Chains A and B, each alone.
Chain A
Amino acid sequence: MRSHLGPITFLILLIIYPWVVSDSYYQHLMILVLMWVAIGSGWNLIAGFTGQVSFGDAAFFGTGAYASALLAHKLGVSAWWGLAIGGFVAVIIAYPFGWICFRLRGAYFALATLALNEVMRHIATIWESLTEGMVGILVMQTFVSKVPYYYIALVIAVMSLVTVELVINSRWGYYFVSIREDQDTAESIGIDTHYYKMTSLSLAAFLTGLAGSLYTNYMGFIDPSIVFSLHDISIMAILVGIVGGVGTVYGPAVGAFIMVAVSEIFRTGGFGFLENLTRATSSPLVATITKYVKEAHVFSFGILVILVILFMPNGVVGDWKVLVQKFRSRRSRAPEG
């Protein structure tokens, strides 16, 4: 129980967050973070724990998103039903997805998932009679305030983390990690590797699809380039997982927080700090820097990927001890005895 004290404290903080922070912009950011916790946890299950590094999770996100959107748009049913079925529809997609991709291993699996992601995006764009193509789908938003969305997102995020925690301590978890470590060995100790890879993928698809449905309901508008986006969803999911810590329960939570923060800091120039600085100093240099920083957020993602992979490939949570040691050794200048 003691090891859970930290997360429980955070949970309490998160629960009271909207009461303390009433600025809807910051509430929006936290909703994004919570959404990414779910997506990152899903990716972590299939990639971090089972070792099948997917580059195509947007396929599930988009499926969940469109499930919700189409229910509202075509059937006139509330998009909230999408939350209930979005996850399941994504699982249905996971089956052919896995069937095609799991015959491959390693980087070729990764490429296949990437290709499928793109195929789905193309299909969604071209099949206009179903999805309205690039015009996109508008959904009526149920709530004006962000707070209800926040709590729903919080429930989904917590559910994701709890699911991962339960899974990795169970037979499924042991089987997933065995597959990751050595698929041949796993087979020879009786693990039906295909079945368990599919199980892991289904779980990931469910969580990611759920997040997609939430997105539709919350943002009110989706189109294929947003919800099936390779860079904004699939690769972001990988970054969330890697930066936070692959193969750990709370890694995606840390990663989600960092990635959303980094993204927003660049997009807004330090939450408006740089703009204020420009105004305060009236310096054209600062103004230029501000402009470039704001446009550089994709660039900064790229640099972040490079740095994290070079120096911290196991993420913040994974390399925590290493980070702490480096920090300590820099502080204390005492010579070795």
Chain B
Amino acid sequence: MAFFETHDMVKHFGGLTAVNHVSFQVEQGQIYGLIGPNGSGKTTIFNLINGYFPLNGGEIRFEGSRISGLKTHQICRKGIARTFQVVKPLKRMTVLDNVIASAFLRCSTKAEARALAENTIEFCGMTGEADKLAKSLPIAWRKRLEIARALATKPSLLLLDETAAGLNPSESEQAIQLIKRIRDSGITIIIVEHIMKVIMTISDRILAINHGTVLTEGTPEEVASHPEVIAAYLGEDYRA
């Protein structure tokens, strides 16, 4: 029984099948990558795991128990946190308050929440921005705030959605370092990315999908040399 697994996930939107019998397993402590062209269903998969959309078929299991069908906040409580592709900061709150709001999940007093929030912010290298209003942050910091907020819920599994999109090379590099630090602290990560450099460098295993269907699964080298994956990405610069 794997740490996290999906069996035969199916999701329809009207006549469109966005996710078509997708199954995969993630081991504890791994960084598991999910790649696919735009519109292939990656974010939908996250939305299914997270409980945003109900499954039309299949199931999702985490640490042995079934989580498909639970509400989003219950799933978070169980230890799965996520970031959003289109970042959703709590705009009119400061960075610190954003993270404190998250921290309250595991803390009962404000003092505790504050301490956890401050630690998390430091871990993410955001201490200098702590008192700034979330809406005043540029995109790179907003993405980091997404991560900090997710981390403050003390997850055991973290879903990162397009964390590196929109970042310049040096910001990307910093993001990669942060992700490694998160993995080293004991959190399992599933990461969605379509910037090859990021995902190929850090993933232990990768699932490649297109049009909601699994193309292949394996180590980064195996996936990168798979003919269908290359075909799907024809024209995309692999070495970003």
Contacts and interface: CB of A to CB of B under 8 A. Distances in A.
Given A187-B71, A189-B81, A189-B105, A170 B90 contact: no
A187 B50 CA distance: 10
A128 interface: no
B110 A191 contact: no
Interface in B72-115: 72-74, 76-77, 81-82, 84, 88-93, 97, 100-102, 104-105, 108, 110, 113
A178 B108 CA distance: 17
A174 B107 CA distance: 13
A187 B72 CA distance: 6
A188 B90 contact: no
A165 interface: no
Contacts of B89: 182, 185
Contacts of A186: 101
Interface string A180-207: 0110111111111100000000000000
Given A174-B97, A187-B73, A188-B50, 19 more contacts: A171-B108, A171-B113, A177-B93, A178-B90, A178-B93, A178-B101, A181-B91, A182-B88, A185-B84, A185-B88, A185-B90, A187-B71, A187-B72, A188-B72, A189-B76, A189-B149, A189-B150, A190-B105, A191-B101
B52 interface: yes
Given A169-B110, A171-B104, A174-B100, A190 B76 contact: yes
Interface of A: 169-171, 174-175, 177-178, 181-182, 184-193
Contacts, number: 69
Determine the main DSSP class of A at the interface with B.
helix
Contacts of B88: 182, 184-185
Interface in B131-150: 149-150
A64 to B, nearest CB: 31
Contacts of A185: 84, 88-90, 149
Contact of B92 (A169, A181, A187, A191): A181
A177 B101 CA distance: 9
Contact of A181 (B52, B77, B90, B150): B90
B153 interface: yes
B73 A190 contact: yes
B102 A184 contact: no
| B: interface residue count bin | 20 to 34
30 contacts: A170-B110, A171-B104, A171-B108, A171-B110, A171-B113, A174-B97, A174-B100, A177-B101, A178-B90, A178-B93, A181-B92, A181-B93, A182-B88, A182-B89, A184-B88, A185-B84, A185-B88, A186-B101, A187-B71, A187-B73, A188-B50, A188-B72, A188-B76, A188-B82, A189-B102, A189-B152, A189-B153, A190-B73, A190-B77, A191-B73
Given A171-B110, A189-B81, A189-B102, A184 B76 contact: no
Contacts of A175: 101, 104
A115 B153 CA distance: 39
A189 B236 CA distance: 34
Nearest to B79: A190
A191 to B, nearest CB: 6
A210 B171 CA distance: 55
A48 to B, nearest CB: 12
Contacts of A192: 71, 73-74
A190 B153 contact: yes
A42 to B, nearest CB: 22
A184 B52 contact: yes
Nearest to B76: A190
Contacts of A177: 90, 92-93, 101
B73 A193 contact: yes
Contacts of A190: 73, 76-77, 102, 105, 153
Contacts of B90: 177-178, 181-182, 185
A325 to B, nearest CB: 18
A170 B104 CA distance: 9
A188 B81 contact: yes
A104 B73 CA distance: 19
Contacts of A189: 76, 81, 101-102, 105, 149-150, 152-153
B81 A174 contact: no
A246 to B, nearest CB: 11
Contacts of B153: 189-190
A96 to B, nearest CB: 21
Contacts of A170: 110
Nearest to B159: A188
A187 B70 CA distance: 12
B14 to A, nearest CB: 21
A184 B153 CA distance: 15
A185 B113 CA distance: 18
Contacts of A184: 52, 88
Nearest to B77: A190
Contacts of B52: 184
Contacts of B101: 174-175, 177-178, 186, 189, 191
A281 B53 CA distance: 73
